[in-house]
A = this chain, B = another copy of it.
Amino acid sequence: MEVKLDREYKNIRVIGFDADDTLWINEIYFREAEALIGQLLSCYETQNKIEQELYKVEIKNLSTYGYGIKGFILSMIEVALDISNYEVSNKTIEKILNIGKQMLNKPVELLENVERVLTLLSENYKLIVATKGDLLDQERKLEKSGLLKYFHHIEVLSDKKEENYMKLLKHLEIEPEHFLMIGNSLKSDVLPLVNIKSNAIHIPFHTTWEHEIVKEEEKRNKKYRTLNNLEAALELLI
């Protein structure tokens, strides 16, 4: 294949992909779960108030539980106890547990053109996945996705801060200037890379968890590109 690289990316040798909401749908399942749980608890509070409470409890528990569905469900049970003033029924708690299990067992629904993009990019670059969350859950989704064959390495990180990326690049012996990260979260997939003099492309997903939203001043003067979808990256990289 003829390579006509955008000058900007001529040094790139390895491309890292976020997984949730970059390769496949994810955040929507959390929103759906919140809506279901909102209905279950609707006799105690409004949907809006329940979601606010959940967010507060999730952030409070983040350093203890980390990211992922299991921590989400544990926080959700805590909210149910609290918001009902300890009156929520055992059956409702069981339903919350079952919503968690359903989330963990969801099929993987790839975003548009993911396979085409990975096929083409894998001919020219080494591809890796860098995702955060529950280890088993992320491994299982990659397995189900059928995408494993495109990737040289899968890394599940407990967080996606600058030091996590620096450690990963060092471990894989990749220079920051040779690496490009592609993902939907400015906070987790883009800004940490820009800050360590690596490269990033932002592909927003229509739903973003509040915790991943970045203030305007944090974005200012940061060098990264925003694209509408994965396919648009092909024009820049191949």
A-side residues, CB < 8 A to B, are 61, 64-67, 70-71, 73-74, 77-78, 81, 84, 86-91, 93-94, 97, 100-101, 104-105, 134-137, 139, 153, 156-158, 171
Q: What are 23 A-to-B residue pairs whose CB atoms are below 8 Å? A: A61-B101, A64-B104, A65-B104, A65-B136, A66-B134, A67-B136, A70-B70, A70-B71, A74-B74, A74-B97, A77-B77, A77-B97, A78-B97, A81-B93, A81-B97, A86-B89, A86-B91, A87-B90, A93-B93, A134-B134, A135-B157, A135-B158, A136-B158
Closest to A97 in B: B78
- Interface centre among A70, A78, A135, by most chain B C-beta atoms within 10 angstroms, is A135
Bound-state CA distance A195–B61 (Å) is: 41
Say how far A141's CB is from chain B's closest CB, in angstroms: 12
A134-B134, A158-B135, A158-B139 given; A93·B77 CB < 8 A? yes
